[in-house]
Amino acid sequence: MSAFFLPNRLFIKLLLGFWLCSSLIIACVGVLPLLQQLHQNFDVPDPIKYEVYSYAEQLKDHPERLTQRFDPYPINDKFRRKFRQELDGIMPAEAPRDDGLTPPPDDHEKFKPIPFYIFVLDSNAQVLNAPEASQGLQHILRDAKKLDQPQSFRHKSEVFFGPVKVSLASGDYSLYGALHLPRHIPWFFFFIEHKLLTLALAIITSGILCAVLAWHLGKPLHSLQQGANALARGDLNSRVSDATANRHDELGDLAKAFNLMADAVEQMVKSQQRLIGDISHELRTPLTRLQLALALARKKGSAIEETERIAYEADQLEQMIAELLELSRVKLKHQDSKINLPLEELLSQVLDDGEFEASQQGKQLCIDIPEELECAVYPKPLSRAIENLLRNAIRYSHNTINIRARLQQQEVNIVIDDDGNGIEEQELEAIFKPFYRPESARDRESGGWGLGLAITEAAITAHRGRIIARNKPEGGLEVSLWLPIS
């Protein structure tokens, strides 16, 4: 029951990862309108409001000024200082200029003059004291039509205050004060004004965050896949990296379990191969005694037909035990360190023997191996592997056998093919198993015991290479093997 209530650690990572990712994107996008609203909540300074109300009173006494362009009212020093204090932090400071609006030098104040206008609109929202309404005024008029009380509005670099209602004999009018301020646009306004770009950035950001999470989860899975594939190919030393095994989640537990399983498989296989080697070695003692007894019987002149048969079977048993010992040695990797050798030099004796054997059977062996091609190899196991493949090809071919080698990226590709009958498709993978012989080999007198290709496959695996057999479309068997250069 306790396991039921324990949260799954990988589940928690997935949940928190995608939840935080989506929440972060939603929060960033959702907070933009709030930031915009906070930035636009700007209250026009009281001196500007005073100017608008004062101008409204003036229009009651001088209605002829309705259509006159607004001329800012002169501001005295006391009023100017108050005006400057209310705008402190809004306008950037500037060196004093002799423009009639800056304080005297002894005040040690820096004040930049601010353009200020008052627009008079009739009941049809037509501007009377200016050629036309500014874009900012046209924009805020849509929001101010239904207002009864004056409010502050902001549009880009303009701040408005209104509407201040004025009733005259000629009709009802509305006044709007307009203050031009330098537009210090916050960085987030860029995203508000470019919605498609903001959406694209949100998609890209979420993609990056999800990619990081996917990499965090996919990397150990890839490591596990590589380890499993290597183990399946016969690399018993394959293990998952410590970085994956030390993770504190289910993937780390899985990696540890995989490494434990690989240790057990390696020990089991090595024990099995060691047992085969030990048994084969022990069988040689009674076999040697048997052969010695046969030799003594021949020397005494008591050899009969049955004795010759026993001698033949003893020789066959000797060869089988030798094959088993070789297979055990190759699989247990009881060989010297790899050395770099030219491939042609390494296989020279094997190729000479192959040419001789093929010529004795009236067949031709074609060799195409560049002299400069070399790689790191275990000389004896690789020579034995190529020899086994060549002998099989010579044995089952009709006329021609080919062996060629090429460098492909960081691997040496060796191909041996013949023009024989090939083998059944379902047997192509099984021929590399110990003691397996296809039907075509069982029908021949020299079919062997099915250990030659098993030794070949074990030798290629010891080189961390791979081997594949296939039937050629035009007939015959082709065996390709790849060996790493280093």
Q: Which residues are catalytic?
A: 281
Ramachandran assignment for 296, one of left (phi > 0), alpha (psi -120 to 50 degrees), beta (any other): alpha
Answer for the pair 228, 258: CB distance below 8 angstroms, yes or no. Answer: yes
Instruction: Please give the helix or strand (H or E) that residue 182 lies within, else none.
Output: none
Candidates 72, 123, 124, 81; CA nearest to 102 is 81
248 close to 9: Cβ distance less than 8 angstroms: yes
Burial of residue 372 (CB within 10 Å: 0-12, 13-18, 19+) is exposed
As given in the structure block, the two tokens for residue 414 are 């060796």
The DSSP output letter for 194 is: -
- Do strands 151-155 and 374-377 pair parallel, antiparallel, or not at all (unpaired)? unpaired
- Give the integer Cα–Cα distance in Å for 139 and 291: 113
Dist CA 294 CA 272 (whole Å): 33
Sign of CA dihedral 14, 15, 20, 25: positive
Host H or E run for residue 167: strand 158-168
Task: List, in order, residues 6 or more apart from 118 with CB less than 8 Å away.
Answer: 51, 52, 55, 70, 129, 175, 176, 177, 178
- Give Cα separations from 91 to 115, 136, 202, 336, 446 (angstroms): 12, 19, 34, 84, 103
For 433-476, list the strands marked E by DSSP.
Answer: 466-471
Closest CA to 179 of 99, 250, 83: 83
Q: How many residues does the chain have?
A: 486
Kindly report the CA angle at 225 between 222 and 228, in degrees rounded to 5?
150
Where b means 16+ CB within 10 Å and e means fewer, 272-293 reads: ebeebbeebeebeeeeeebbee
Tokens of 220: 């150990």
Tokens 């090429």 belong to which residue? 406
